[in-house]
Amino acid sequence: MTKAEKTAISPTREQDFPEWYQQAIRAAELAEPSDVRGCMVIRPWGFGIWENMQRVLDRMSAPTGQTATRVVDDWPTDTFFTARKNFWYGGEPIEMWNEPSAHSDGDLMVFFRKSDVIVAGDVIAADRYPYIDVRNGGTIQGIINGLNRVISVAVPEYNQQGGTRVIPGHGRIMNQSDVVEYRDMATIIRDRIAMLVKQGKTLEQIKAMRPTLDYDGNYGSTSGPWTTDMFIDAVFKEVTAKPAAAPAPAGKKPAAKVGN
């Protein structure tokens, strides 16, 4: 007889889902008890997670009578709230990393530790410039963060070659040094565009100056689903975006306006 699986939450999800759910939310510090019986106060980061889940499900589903972008069988059946999840499968430990706002707002990278393989997905597109799905929460900074994570985990075998294999969403299989070169390219072009923006250049002026010129031979494209111009557009939009206003400290009211 196998021993029952032990978890930090009792009862299990299968035994009493409503009670398990309430405990999971509290354990993850996504919400806290309310003074009103039967209610919970959702914390800001918890609300952000729920909003993100809602956006993903909205994109995959559709109103009654319309065709959804994904069949129900393709919908996610399991989630995790932390930046990392690990489990054992197929004879080896597997890690899943969430990389916020990289290619999109739903990027996962998978590390097969025994096989020494990282599946990076669309955080890396080895045959083109980084694909930034701005409409669905993608950012160039998030992609750079994801590349840095891959570099920190991958281990070369000899002379920066071999070792950990990195499987991108598009293009050839890479090793650590390939990812370093890709990361450097993304960072250099982002910084070039940011510098030109500080000099007061417009988007069209920046494109005319060709900030990607020395990399176009490897990653550039004038046609297809992701062109060089699209990449520059996405980076320009990000570096010119105004930072979100910081929320007022809790319990502190804004100063009253005096005069007309």
pLDDT digits (tens, 9 = 90+) for 159-189: 888 999 999 999 999 999 999 999 999 999 9
Q: Which CATH number covers residue 101? A: 3.60.15.30
In the three-class reduction of DSSP (H, G, I as helix; E, B as strand; rest coil), residue 260 is classed as coil
Say what the pLDDT of residue 198 is.
97
Average pLDDT of 235-257? 67
The answer to whether residue 30 sits within a structural domain is yes
Residue 253 has pLDDT above 90, yes or no: no
Is residue 70 domain-shared with residue 189, that is, in the same domain?
A: no
Does residue 165 sit within a domain? yes
The pLDDT, as a whole number, for residue 257 is 52
pTM for this entry: 0.74
pLDDT for the residue 81 = 67
- Looking at per-residue pLDDT, the higher value among 242 and 183 belongs to 183
The 8-class DSSP code of residue 139 comes to: -
Asked if residue 22 and residue 98 are part of one domain, the reply reads no
Task: With cut-offs at 50, 70 and 90, classify the pLDDT of residue 33.
Answer: confident
Choice between 19 and 200, residue whose per-residue pLDDT is larger: 200
Question: Whose structure tokens read 């090793």?
Answer: 175
β-strand 165-170 against 117-125: which pairing, if any? parallel
Nearest residue to 226 (alpha-carbon basis) of 148, 144, 134, 149? 134
Whether residue 94 sits in one domain with residue 69: no
Q: Are residues 97 and 225 in the same domain?
A: yes
Q: Is residue 140 part of a domain?
A: yes
Mean per-residue pLDDT over the chain, rounded: 85
The domain in which residue 36 lies consists of: 17-74
Q: Is the pLDDT of residue 232 over 90?
A: yes
Residue 2: per-residue pLDDT: 45
Q: Predicted confidence band at 69 (pLDDT cuts at 50, 70, 90)?
A: confident
Kindly report the number of other CB atoms within 10 A of residue 92's CB atom. 12
Q: Which H or E run includes 149? A: helix 140-153
